[in-house]
Structure formats: C-alpha cells, structure tokens
Amino acid sequence: MVLVYNNITARKRAEAALRASEERLAILLNLTDALRPLKDPLEILDQSTRILGEYMQADRTFIAMMEPDGVNRDVYHEYLRPGASSVLGHHNFDQFGAFVSPLLREGHIMAVEDVATLSLTEAELSAQAHHEEQYSLDGPDLVLAPKAAEVLTLTVHELTTNAVKYGALSTPHGRVSVRWATFERRGASWFGFDWSEEGAPADALAEAASRKPGFGSELIEGRLPYELGGRGKLTIEPGGARCRLEFPMKHGASMLETTAPRRATVFGGALDMSAEAGLTGHRVLVLEDDFYLASDTRRALEGAGAEVLGPCASEGAAMDEMDDNPTAAVVDVNLGRGPSFELARSLKDRGTPFVFITGYDEEIIPSEFDGIARLQKPVELKDVVRSLSSALGLAS
C-alpha cells in the first residue's frame, strides 16, 4: 500500500480567497445595474445601502463620513433590517471595533482591492455564457490598480451584458474571444485589452446598431480615455461587438477606496442656464478627474455662454491650458492621489478668479485660500455657475 499525503491548505485558502473576490465583484456589478437608471441622490443612497445590507444579511448598513481627527464619524444614511436600532448621528470611530478602525485609519482599501484580470473576466463570462466552450481567455493574470480595475470591471460587465442582449452570448452558437497583454509605449508599460465576438444573430445586431450610443460607448470611448489616459474603441461589426482598450499601467485611486473623499458629484440635470448670470466672453478652465462630473460642468458652463478650456483630468494638463489665459476656473481638489493645490496657487498668483469643487472637508484646504468659494458635494449645476459668476463679480 502506498500512502500519498498532500498538504492542500494553501490551495484551499487560495480558492476561498478567489471565491470571496468573485462574490465582491458580483455585488459591485449588481449594484451598478441597480443604480444606473437612478437620478435622485436620496434614492441612490436608499438603493445602495439596501442592496448591500440584503446581500450581506446585515442588521444595518450605513454611510458615514470620517472627521479630520480620525476619531469621530457622522452616520448620515442607513438601511435597517426589521428590529434593528438606528445608528444615525455622531459616534466615536473606536466603536467600530479594534479590527476595522486601524485598517481604515491607515488607508487600507475595504471595498475595491487590486484586481486580477483573469478572475475578473472569467467570473463575468462564466456567469453569462451558455457553456464553457462559448468563450476563450488569453492573457497573463495581471493585477490592476484600483482605478483601472474599477473602469475595466464596468467595461467587461457592459460588454457581457450587451453580448447577452444582442451579441454572441444571445445564442448558444456564438463565441467571445478576449485577449490582453502588456506592451511598451514611450518608455512606459501599457495594458492592451481586446474583446471580439462571432456568431451573433444578424437581426439582433441590426437592432443594436440602430440604437443611439449609450452607457457602454460613453464608458469605453469617453470615461476610460479621460480617467486612465488611454484609448478606447467600440464597434458593432458582422458577428458581434469589437472592443479595443489601451491605458498606461499606473496607480490611480478608485472611487470606492476608503482613502478617497466623497465623490464631488454634480446633481441636477437641467442645463438651461438662461436664468443665471451670463459668462459670455469668459474662458473658464475646468480641472476635474471624474469624467461624468467634468462633462456636466462643461455643459453647464457652456450653457451660460462660457468658452471652456478642458476639461482636464490632471494638473499637468490644466497647467498647459494656462497658456490660453483663462479668465476663471473651476478646480477639483482631489485628483485621485490626495489633495493638490498647484493649479490653485498659480491661479491665485495671476489674480484669476476660481472656485473649488471638493469632496473633502473644508479643513483640508490651506488657509491661503480662505477667500475662495468652495462647493461641497452634492452640488447643483446652477450653483457652479452662480459661484463662478460671483467670483467674477457678475450680477445675476
């Protein structure tokens, strides 16, 4: 008799970690689908806390803001299971327990970690494909930084969803091929990602081609290039969708990192600024690294008559725009890796009026900018125009 003993503890741990990672990915994608059609900020908070609470079978799920002292927090929205008590209000952070408190104070990521491309893509396709032979994956199991992982996760989910509706995954006979690799460009390491379909039904493709560009096109051809500094192209061809993504392999903070401040979202879809003070004749520089916020701000300012320089996703790009002599500016404080005030100091030295849009508490802004208006999340489009008009000394 031969007895063979294999210690599989490490493998079991790795498998458990992968399952946990896939579960986190699944809830993120489900949450994205549920929140996409919502516009009202309160409804978004209600749905996000409810979905997370139900998924985790928690007594309560809440949204809280840490104060600058790192000790206290304010709970301002919550979801409660029947019988659970409310935790709304001001609390000492140590009540969270000895484990969670140090992690968050040290800036550890709790919601989105670095993500492996293979597990990310395989988890999405395996959940939607009719059978395993319907898709192929070819590429190294690269680990992406949180910002890139956030955008790529949404992209793969969007491509898969559309393939199920109109493309190769809408029929058992279709096929999806996904390839990715790194390559060098101008001395930097880049990530390349190719998605291709074949065998999609012609009638479904015709319907997809007739639809106006939607969330997927904007994500791939708008947000990805803007926030990751890369390129994205999505086309509908005979056989199905084709997508090519390229972006540099550099760190960027995810909107779901605990170290990031509240996202400085603009709420209020009305773009008619005719009732506000006109900005005709003014060149307004916009520095904002969130694609959707930057787009909304640009449209609001143009609606008020301004010429917009940018928007710019980085201070370097914004500093280049200074050569065009802006007469005013809208400046985002957080650019993914903490607060930065280089552009603000340059504007101040030139005597150019500007306003801050920030998700940070006001204490993070240096005292040298005490006279500068700052708009705190959530902010309406009309308030951006009004605040800038006031900084320029214009009457409404």
DSSP class per residue in 271-297: ---TTSPP-TT-EEEEE-S-HHHHHHH
Closest CA to 258 of 70, 77, 79, 92: 70
DSSP state of 254: -
Name the token pair of 287: 């520095």
DSSP string, 34-85: HHTT---HHHHHHHHHHHHHHHHT-SEEEEEEE-TTSSEEEEEEEEE-TTPP
Radius of gyration of the chain (CA): 23
Sorted by sequence, the CB contacts under 8 Å of residue 60 that are 6+ apart come out as 53, 78, 79, 80, 81, 84, 85, 86, 87
Distance CA 258, CA 255 (A): 8
62-65, Cβ contacts within 8 angstroms, sequence gap of 24 or more:
62/87, 62/88, 64/91, 65/262, 65/361
Distance CA 43, CA 35 (A): 9
pLDDT, tens digit (0-9, with 9 covering 90-100), for 28-47: 666 666 666 776 777 777 77
Distance CA 359, CA 15 (A): 38
Q: What integer pLDDT is reported at residue 8 of this predicted model?
A: 45
**Residue 381 three-state SS:** helix
Distance CA 216, CA 200 (A): 18
pLDDT, tens digit (0-9, with 9 covering 90-100), for 357-369: 887 666 788 899 9
Q: What integer pLDDT is reported at residue 20 of this predicted model?
A: 52
pLDDT, tens digit (0-9, with 9 covering 90-100), for 286-321: 998 888 888 888 988 998 899 999 999 889 899 999
Are 358 and 365 spatial neighbours (Cβ–Cβ below 8 Å)?
Answer: yes
Which domains are seen in the chain, by residue range?
9-105 (no CATH), 115-248 (3.30.565.10), 266-391 (3.40.50.2300)
Q: What integer pLDDT is reported at residue 10 of this predicted model?
A: 47
Q: What integer pLDDT is reported at residue 320 of this predicted model?
A: 93
Are 137 and 121 spatial neighbours (Cβ–Cβ below 8 Å)?
Answer: yes
Closest CA to 266 of 391, 382, 390: 382
Q: What integer pLDDT is reported at residue 42 of this predicted model?
A: 73
Q: What integer pLDDT is reported at residue 79 of this predicted model?
A: 77
Count of other CB atoms within 10 angstroms of residue 101 = 17
Distance CA 86, CA 83 (A): 10
Q: Please, is 372 exposed, middle or buried when counting C-beta atoms within 10 Å of its C-beta (0-12, 13-18, 19+)? A: middle
Are 284 and 384 spatial neighbours (Cβ–Cβ below 8 Å)?
Answer: no
Q: What integer pLDDT is reported at residue 56 of this predicted model?
A: 64
Sorted by sequence, the CB contacts under 8 Å of residue 136 that are 6+ apart come out as 175, 176, 177, 178
Q: What integer pLDDT is reported at residue 190 of this predicted model?
A: 94
Q: What integer pLDDT is reported at residue 333 of this predicted model?
A: 83
Are 64 and 161 spatial neighbours (Cβ–Cβ below 8 Å)?
Answer: no
Q: What integer pLDDT is reported at residue 96 of this predicted model?
A: 45
Distance CA 111, CA 260 (A): 11
Listed as ranges, residues in the chain with pLDDT below 50 are 1-11, 13-14, 17-18, 94-114, 253-271, 273
pLDDT, tens digit (0-9, with 9 covering 90-100), for 320-365: 999 999 999 999 887 766 678 999 999 999 999 999 988 766 678 8
Specify the residue for token string 């605990």.
258
DSSP string, 88-147: -EEEEGGGG-TTHHHHHHTT--SS---EEHHHHHHHHHHHH-SSGGGEEEES---EE-HH
Q: What integer pLDDT is reported at residue 245 of this predicted model?
A: 96
Distance CA 96, CA 99 (A): 8
Distance CA 315, CA 321 (A): 10
Q: What integer pLDDT is reported at residue 6 of this predicted model?
A: 44
